[in-house]
């Protein structure tokens, strides 16, 4: 890692290949790139944030996580999350019925939170990641701009998908209701629980830097 004397803006840097450099998004420190092993990360020595990490060779993992995420997500949407039984009466709640109930009560803000953060954004992240990774392998370079758009919304939406938080909410309600009635966990609850490590893997194994570089090189 060489440190150069301060350059005046524009002149020195533009003569060098810009792709040899990388900067920390948290403190703006500029580094000359050095090659990283797959899975290795570069930490900013000024602020301690991760500057980049090498995701080459992890694309299969990301694809596997994205596809299993999609399948589990389909399960989570089609079965009840929880049911309560009182006497012979059973009341079930699924992701869809929860949303509809909130719409019926006129609580649009809450319904929107459900639709966006629990249903739409997680689903779009899985679909988007699948499209990007599969597309890099299958699509001819001419069609790659679609992938750039997709990768852009995948990385934008990721912090807004809240499956894990929703599961905690379910657990709290499960415990709260257990005194009142018999609570039966549904297939969707197990799917949602399984989605937590999968979204986490997807989030940590997908290297934004590496994918963008691949997209540009193509």
Where does this chain bind Zn ion (CB under 5 A)? 24, 26-27, 29, 44, 46-47, 49
Asked whether position 60 contacts other proteins by CB under 8 A, the answer is no
Of 62, 166, 202, 206, the residue at the interface with other proteins (CB under 8 A) is: 166
Burial tier of 217 (Cβ tally within 10 Å: 0-12, 13-18, 19+): exposed
- The answer to whether 13 and 22 are in contact (CB under 8 A) is no
The single-letter DSSP state of residue 173 is H
Of 71, 105, 143, 200, the residue at the interface with other proteins (CB under 8 A) is: 105
68 vs 93 by CB, closer to other proteins: 93
When CB distances are held under 5 to 8 angstroms depending on the partner's kind, the choice from Zn ion, other proteins, none that residue 101 binds is other proteins
> Residues 170 to 189: which contact other proteins by CB under 8 A?
170-173, 175-177, 179-181
Q: In 40-113, which ranges are continuous DSSP H helix?
A: 59-78, 95-104, 108-113
Asked whether position 191 contacts other proteins by CB under 8 A, the answer is no
- The answer to whether 99 and 115 are in contact (CB under 8 A) is yes
Measure the N-to-C terminal CA separation of the chain; round to a whole number of Å. Answer: 28
48 vs 197 by CB, closer to other proteins: 48
20 vs 46 by CB, closer to Zn ion: 46
């Amino acid at each position: 890692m060489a440190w150069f004397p301060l350059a005046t803006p524009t002149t020195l840097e533009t003569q060098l290949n810009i792709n040899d450099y990388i900067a920390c998004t948290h403190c703006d420190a500029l580094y000359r790139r050095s090659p990283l092993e797959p899975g290795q990360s570069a930490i900013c020595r000024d602020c301690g944030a991760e500057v980049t990490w090498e995701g080459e060779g992890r694309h299969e993992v990301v694809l596997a996580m994205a596809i299993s995420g999609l399948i589990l997500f389909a399960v989570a949407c089609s079965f009840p999350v929880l049911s309560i039984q009182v006497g012979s009466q059973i009341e079930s709640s699924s992701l869809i019925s929860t949303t509809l109930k909130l719409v019926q009560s006129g609580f649009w803000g809450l319904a929107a939170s459900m639709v966006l953060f629990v249903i739409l954004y997680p689903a779009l992240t899985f679909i988007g990641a699948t499209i990007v990774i599969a597309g890099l392998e299958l699509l001819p370079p001419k069609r790659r701009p679609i992938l750039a758009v997709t990768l852009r919304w995948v990385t934008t939406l990721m912090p807004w998908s809240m499956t894990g938080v929703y599961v905690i909410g379910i657990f709290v309600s499960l415990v709260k209701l257990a005194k009142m009635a018999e609570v039966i966990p549904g297939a969707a609850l197990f799917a949602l629980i399984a989605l937590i490590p999968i979204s986490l893997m997807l989030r940590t194994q997908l290297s934004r830097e590496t994918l963008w570089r691949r997209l540009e090189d193509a």
